[in-house]
Amino acid sequence: MPYFDAASAAPLHPVARQALLAALDDGWADPSRLYREGRKARMLLDAAREAAAEAVGCRPDELTFTPSGTRAVHTGVAGALAGRRRVGRHLIVSAVEHSSVLHSAEVFEAEGGQVTRVPVARTGAVDAGSYEAALRPDTALACLQSANHEVGTVQPVAAVAEVCRAAGVPLLVDAAQSLGWERVAGDWSLLTASAHKWGGPSGVGLLVVRKGVRFAVQGASDERESGRAPGFENLPAIVAAAASLRAVRAEAEREAARLRELTARIRARVPELVPDVEVVGDAERRLPGVVTFSCLYVDGETLLHELDREGFSVSSGSSCTSSTLTPSHVLKAMGVLSEGNVRVSLPAGAAGHDVERFLEVLPGVVAGVREKLGAPVPVAAVQADVLVVDALGKRCPIPVIELAKVIGTVPVGGTVRVLSDDEAARLDIPAWCEMRGQEYVGEEPAERGTAYSVRRVS
């Protein structure tokens, strides 16, 4: 069964498996002890730290192993903000950061800090000038992912690091998605990553804090890992994580070129094979194996289930795959369609014939989901020369389907007013207008839900 969700978790690399098994035999003792077994464990831990530091491009004593990438982010953000508390209580993040960064920002805000969320372009990329404009004398920390986890867009980390460095503000880079492919460029100050993203075992994260960066560990700590990750180290997993990082880096250049060709094939052919599709994310500055597209008039959760029935494991940032029924914050920030969203993230070694079969299967799956979902006859009424569509109580993508069915019944220049109480409509109706060349007039509160007005242009 083709596994196309490597951006969530990459399959365990063979080198990681070998190193894990070997370390289970030799690395079970306490590396802080001075007897033979402890010394052997310490040697394994030091070797793993040196290997990981070499891959990152930092000093070994700047790198801490944490229980997860999320823990690395939480520790890094909290420690950097606390270390620079005298400077101020202002934090900068991009609007498309991973939830671990955004949750840290929310905690900081709840404690009285101020957070600036930098917007992104429709490609999902930030502009270095926006970070420069957001900097203030009281800015304690800025955060930016190296590449986006949902759409694959690579961020201009080096340029942002330069403007932050000029202002004397440390930049924390979430490198979870890119570290397996290459070092993060630029003069960054802190870096986090997660081993299961590059084929290492889960339960191992990296936190790098450059020398000279003010950092104050928050919460209880002990003598291990510079006090930044208290508790007994999961040494076998750490050894496997470092070994697999070195291994995937050795293969990265060749494998990246191969995966780029496969994802370029998907990006080009999906719009040809499936009508009403928007491929999202930057077409050039992107991760090698990630391609994301959104299908109009399709329920995202149903689409993923049907692809699973056909033997393909993919994921989605669609609002309809979440119990919260709210749009993906990444897609929302980009201003692109959220309904029927599919992320294909190819693991190393993904076969070309599996991609071809995916492209063969996809059109029929989308057509089947659209047919199953149906296009319900909208409840419409004319009010003061405005066609009103009542989509209250109906979830994505029904409001957009009903809009699409009636837009052709109004004259050019006429207006359709869609009533909806689904949060996803706030994103999907403007995105539909962008795709269909119609004019999105705006929204206003209604007696129930929200009224979205669309003017027919063509």
Q: What are the residue numbers of the active site?
A: 320
Is the torsion defined by CA of 373, 152, 248, 242 positive or negative? negative
Provide the 3-class DSSP secondary structure of residue 209. strand
CB 71 within 8 A of CB 262: no
CB 220 within 8 A of CB 101: no
Using left for φ > 0, alpha for ψ between -120 and 50, and beta otherwise, residue 410 falls in beta
CB 161 within 8 A of CB 174: no
Burial class (CB in 10 A: 0-12, 13-18, 19+), 25: exposed
CA distance 163 to 166: 5
Burial class (CB in 10 A: 0-12, 13-18, 19+), 324: exposed
CB 317 within 8 A of CB 343: yes
Using left for φ > 0, alpha for ψ between -120 and 50, and beta otherwise, residue 62 falls in alpha
Separation in Å, CA 8 to CA 13, 354, 371: 15, 19, 30
DSSP H helix total and E strand total for the chain: 12, 15
